[in-house]
Structure 1
Amino acid sequence: MADDFKFGNSLTPDMIAKINASIQPQRMFAESIAAEQDRMMRQAQEVGEQIYQNRQKMQEAMERTAHNTDVANDRLEKIIDQQSSHIELLEKTNETLQKQLETDQKQLEILQNIFASGEDGVQVEKELMNLIKKEIDETHPLWEYVKDKGGDIAVAGATAGIPILYGAFKAYLLSKGIMLP
């Protein structure tokens, strides 16, 4: 074939056919390489696009997570503030109840001392009358009984009934567990 192709000779159709036949495998090989390169480029682009989309989805998911975390943190902060306020209120209520308990215990001790002291009923009656006299004025219906200096009329009139009232009051307090027997 090299003899057929000499410089300066014109190419005949047979020679062109021979040239085409000799370069045909090289052309087919080059075309198959180009096709494979195109296929690989498309595949690389698809993989790149998929990676990009996955990255976008991950970014959006992270942004949503960050937003949800902020919202949750805000809510938790409000709950903590509310719980702190509630705890403070409970502590104040506890202090108030503790003071009330102390006051109630002092009053109970006084009542126990009155009824367990063995004092004369008349003496206790006089003290009660003096206390009543300090609490009422002349418009009160009991004023007529307690208006004299020591409340002697009231004491004399009530002497018969007061021990019964004391006994009933003491029994009531005992039934409620307020007094010791």
Structure 2
Amino acid sequence: MADDFKFGTPLTHDMISKFNASIQPQRMIAESIAAEQDCMMRQVVQEVGEQGYQNRKRIQEAMERTAHNTDVTNERLEKMIDQQSSYIELLEKANETLQKQLETGQKRLEILQDIFASGEDGVLVEKELMNLIKKEIDETHPLWEYIKDKGGDIAEAGATAGFPVLYGAFKAYLQSKGIMLP
């Protein structure tokens, strides 16, 4: 067949048929290889596509889990913050109450210090104590009759006679609690 084809010789229909017949097996092999490569390429593309899809799916699921976990964590943090805020408010109120109690206690201590450290004689202190007691009780109290008349009658004389003892005992009691009076 190589002799049939020479350069410069015109191709006849016979020659073309012979040429086609001689290359037909090679063409079939080439087409078979091309088809096999095409099939393999489709298979590789499909596998790569499937892997890509699975990867995207796993990434999407991971992102959704992360978002859910973040939401749950945020809700828990909000609850904790609310609870801490309530606790702080409670502590602030307790602190305010204690501060008011401390201020009241300090005022009372100042009054007691003024009474006992004033250098006034016992009668003035006794009268002041009687006035304070009178403000604290009403006419149903058993001491009312004893305290009501501060004009110097027998009831007051009896109470006044007992006040120095009460005064000394009260002063000793305060000193035993750490309140030192002059």
Judge conservation of contact 2:149–2:156 (CA < 8 Å) in 1.
Answer: no
Judge conservation of contact 1:133–1:143 (CA < 8 Å) in 2.
Answer: yes
CA distance in 2, matches of 1:53, 1:162: 97
Q: Does 1:108 align with 2:109?
A: yes
- The equivalent of 2:134 in structure 1 is 133
Judge conservation of contact 2:146–2:159 (CA < 8 Å) in 1.
Answer: no
| Superposition deviation, residue 110 in structure 1 | 0.8
| AA in 2 matched with 1:115 | F
CA distance in 1, matches of 2:148, 2:132: 12
Instruction: Let me know the Cα RMSD of the aligned residues.
Output: 3.1
- The equivalent of 1:74 in structure 2 is 75
- The equivalent of 2:165 in structure 1 is 164
**Can you list the C-alpha shifts for 1:30-58, whole angstroms capped at 9, x where unaligned?**
32332232122112101111111110121
User: What TM-score does the superposition give when structure 1 sets the normalisation length?
Assistant: 0.73
**Can you list the C-alpha shifts for 1:135-178, whole angstroms capped at 9, x where unaligned?**
33443222332243436434432445433332232222223223
Judge conservation of contact 1:173–1:179 (CA < 8 Å) in 2.
Answer: yes
Superposition pairs for residues 45-64 of structure 1, below 5 Å? Answer: 45-64=46-65
Unaligned runs of 5+ in 2: 5-11
| Superposition deviation, residue 130 in structure 1 | 2.8
Query: How much identity, in percent, do the aligned residues show?
Result: 73
- The equivalent of 2:8 in structure 1 is none
Unaligned runs of 5+ in 1: 9-14
CA distance in 2, matches of 1:92, 1:134: 31
User: What TM-score does the superposition give when structure 2 sets the normalisation length?
Assistant: 0.72
| AA in 2 matched with 1:98 | Q
> What is the count of residue pairs matched by the alignment?
170
